[in-house]
Amino acid sequence: MAKRRTSREIALKILFHLEFNEEPYLSAMERLSVLHQWDEDALKYAKELIQNVIEHKKEIDSYIIKASKNWRLERIGIIERCILRMGIGELCYMRENVPPKVCIDEAVELGKMYGNGESAAFINGIMDFIYKNYTNQSHEECINFKEQGGMNEVQPIRD
């Protein structure tokens, strides 16, 4: 399992890099892999995670928006946004490979490692809300879901 955590860290670093650099993710992955000398096996799952985020980014962002009541996506810190995208992608679209609680725990741990003091609680709240409200529904049902999350108290904000 340590290899999957490493894969998640690699994917997070690449997703974060892509927030600032407009380039194909495979190019970024190759360049950063050479620079950091990442393990080839860990890169395989990282690639799956990144592809998943790219393929479902619109839907994932809509889940984040619904769960983070009264907050614009752009106001969520970049690192938290990347962690949430990756964690929600894994939670909602790769659940046959990873138990939901593991997805949530891993996202929270990344928040502790790379975010600020409030990141882990914020990520946990968003991920838990999505797990409880969206993972057993189709995306169309989720879009029409009227209730929003309650993450208006603790929010890592970057202006």
Q: Considering only residues 101 and 152, tell me which one the structure prediction assigns the higher pLDDT.
A: 101
The answer on pLDDT for 155 being more than 60 is: no
C-alpha angle 103/158/27, rounded to 5°?
Answer: 60
The answer on pLDDT for 113 being more than 80 is: yes
Does 22 map to a domain? Answer: yes
The answer on pLDDT for 45 being more than 50 is: yes
Q: Are 84 and 123 in contact (CB under 8 A)?
A: yes
Give me the number of domains the chain comprises.
Answer: 1
Other residues' Cβ atoms within 10 Å of the Cβ of residue 84? 30
pLDDT at 96: 83
Q: How far is CA 61 from CA 16, 35, 43, 87, 137, in A?
A: 15, 30, 24, 12, 16
What mean pLDDT value characterizes the chain? Answer: 86
By residue range, what is the domain housing residue 51?
2-143
pLDDT at 125: 95
The residue-averaged pLDDT of 15-36 equals 95
Handedness of CA 78, 20, 134, 99 (dihedral sign): negative
Does 154 map to a domain? Answer: no
C-alpha angle 130/136/142, rounded to 5°?
Answer: 60
The answer on pLDDT for 153 being more than 70 is: no
Q: Considering only residues 1 and 110, tell me which one the structure prediction assigns the higher pLDDT.
A: 110
Look up tokens 């996506």; give the residue. 73
Domain containing 139 — which CATH number? 1.10.940.10
- Across 25-35, b (16+ Cβ under 10 Å) vs e yields beebbeeebee
The per-residue pLDDT for range 46-97, each reduced to its tens digit, is 999 999 999 999 999 999 999 988 778 999 999 999 999 999 999 999 988 8
pTM recorded for the entire structure: 0.85
> Percentage of the chain with pLDDT > 70?
83
Question: Among 21, 113, 116, 49, which residue's Cα sits nearest to residue 77?
Answer: 116
Does 10 map to a domain? Answer: yes
Does 85 map to a domain? Answer: yes
Q: Considering only residues 150 and 47, tell me which one the structure prediction assigns the higher pLDDT.
A: 47
